[in-house]
Structure 1
C-alpha cells in the first residue's frame, strides 16, 4: 500500500476505512507544509508499537531527511524497523518494479512541491503462434521469452522482441500536491485515467490563490481538459468555503467529468474501464 501525503488525521481516516496502517509500504510527501506531514509522527510511532519489522520508505523534497530524523527523537519510543528516506532532487522515475512505477515532476508552490504519477506497467502480449513458427516448443522457453530473456533453439538465438507485441497501456494516476497552474502538468498528466489536482479557491479570488501558491477550480479543469484525462478529482478545499459545490460547479463548466474529493471516497480504476467513484453514504 502506498500513502501520498500524511496530514494530522491520516491514522484516523485509515482506521475509518478499515485498513491496517501496517500495510503501508511507502509514503510519498509532496511538500513539507504541516497539513501534508503532521500525521507522520503518529504513523511512525504506531507502526513501532504494532511491532513492524520491515523497512518503511519515505520519499519527499529536500528536508525530508531532517524531518524524519526529528521524528525519530520525538518522545520516548523504540523503532524496531528501518526508516529509509529518499530526498528528491529532480524529475524522473523514483521507483519501479515489474508491474508499476512512480515518477515525480516539480511543481510551483511557496515551498518545493513535487507531483507524483503512478503508472501501471503491462507486459506486451506474447505472440504464441509467432513463437511456434520460429521453432520454439511450448513450455519453459515461452516463459523465459515473456520475462524478457533470450533463448536458444537449435543454435539460433531468439530475442523477446521477436515474439512480443507492442507495449500496452496501463492505468495512470497523477497527484498534484499544492501548486499554481503549471503547463508542465499538462504534459505530465497527458491521457491519465485520474488527475487528482488541488483546487483551493474559486476564480473570483484567483490573485489570492496565486499569491498563496494555489490553483482555482477553473484552472484545474482547464489543465484536465488540455491533458485529455478521463477523470478529474479536485482536492484541498479552503476553509473559507462551507461546501465544495461552488468549486465543483466552476470546474464542471469546463470539464464535466469532475468530482470534488470527500472523506473515505473510493475510486476504482481498471484498465480500459470507466473510472468508478463511490462516495461514503
Structure 2
C-alpha cells in the first residue's frame, strides 16, 4: 500500500507541478488503485506513471473546485476508449453527479463500463472485508471532505519453522491455516492458533481536502499511519490562508502532532512557490513541530508503513 502523487499544486498548474490528484496503490492487497481528486491533466500525468486506468477501482473527490475535478470527465472517457471494462465508482459531495452527467452527455462520451456516482455527506461511505472508508466535513469555501481509509487487521505470520518440523510443506494448507481453519497432516491435527502469530494491525491513511484548521480534522487523522494535509502557504501568509480557507505548513504540523499520526505529507502548494527549493521553508516550518514530515513530490511513491514497521527502522 502506497501513495503516488500525480498533482501537488493549488489552484493553477505551473511548469513544475500539476493540480491536485493522488493515487492510493494497493496492488498486493486488492490488485487495484484508488484515486483521490482528479485535477485537470491528471490522465496525462498517469501516462508518465506506473498507474493503469483499467486497474482503477474507485475515485474519491474531496470538493467540487475545478482544480480537483476538471480532469475527471476526460479520465473517464479515456478509460472507456482504452476498453476498460471493470466497474468504477466515483464518490464525492453534492453536485458531482450533475457535473459528470451533463459533461459526459454534452460531449457524447460513451462510458460502457459500469459507472456508479455516489454523492455523500460524510460518515461511512464504503466497507468490505478488507477496508473501510469514512468521510467528514472540513472547513473550506464550499463543501469539502477528508477521507479516512482503514485497512482491516490482517492475519499474523505463520510459524514456518514449526510447520516444517511437523512436515507441512507450502501449499493450500498454509492458506487454510491463515484463514483460521485447522488441518490434518501426518496424522496430526494442527489448529491455526498453534502456528499463527498475532494479527497485524491494519494501516490507516487520511487524505484531506482543502481546509482551514478545524476540529473535524482530528477524528479523521487520529492515529493514522500517514496524513496528507494541504499546506498552501508558510506562516508568513497565515492571514491569506485564513481568508481563502486554506492552511499553513505550521498548521498542518500542529494537526499531525495533535492526532498522533505516523507520517505527515504536505501538498497543495501555492503557485508562488515555483520549484522544490522554494518549498523548503514549508518543510522546515512543519518539521520544527512534527519532524516526520515530507513534501509531496509528483511521480514519487510514499509507502504507508504501520507503526510496527516504523519501529523496526
Inter-partner Cα distance in structure 1 for 2:142 and 2:149:
23
Q: Within 5 Å, which residues of 2 pair with 1:219-234?
A: 219-234=251-266
Inter-partner Cα distance in structure 2 for 1:33 and 1:3:
16
After TM superposition, give the deviation of residue 145 of structure 1 in Å.
Answer: 11
After TM superposition, give the deviation of residue 165 of structure 1 in Å.
Answer: 9.7
Q: TM-score, normalised by structure 1?
A: 0.81
After TM superposition, give the deviation of residue 14 of structure 1 in Å.
Answer: 1.3
RMSD: 2.7
After TM superposition, give the deviation of residue 125 of structure 1 in Å.
Answer: 5.8
After TM superposition, give the deviation of residue 260 of structure 1 in Å.
Answer: 1.1
Inter-partner Cα distance in structure 2 for 1:219 and 1:200:
10
After TM superposition, give the deviation of residue 185 of structure 1 in Å.
Answer: 1.3
In structure 1, list runs of 5 or more residues that go unmatched. 127-138, 150-163, 276-281
Moved beyond 6 Å, runs of 4+: 164-167
Give the corresponding residue for 1:160: none
Task: Answer yes or no: is the 8 Å Cα contact 2:122–2:134 preserved in 1.
Answer: no
Task: Answer yes or no: is the 8 Å Cα contact 2:36–2:62 preserved in 1.
Answer: yes
After TM superposition, give the deviation of residue 222 of structure 1 in Å.
Answer: 0.5
Q: 1:82 aligns with which of 114, 117, 122?
A: 114
Deviations 1:101-146 (A, max 9, x none): 11111111000011001111014669xxxxxxxxxxxx99x96995
Distance verdict in 2 for CA 1:165–1:188, change over 3 Å: farther
1:188 aligns to 2:210 (yes or no): no
1:251 aligns to 2:286 (yes or no): yes
Q: Within 5 Å, which residues of 2 pair with 1:255-274?
A: 255-271=290-306, 272-274=308-310
Higher relative contact order by CA 8 Å / sep ≥ 6: 1 or 2? 2
Q: 2:244 aligns with which of 212, 230, 235?
A: 212
Inter-partner Cα distance in structure 2 for 1:81 and 1:11:
18
1:119 aligns to 2:155 (yes or no): no
Q: Within 5 Å, which residues of 2 pair with 1:1-281?
A: 1-91=33-123, 93-123=124-154, 169-242=201-274, 243-271=278-306, 272-274=308-310
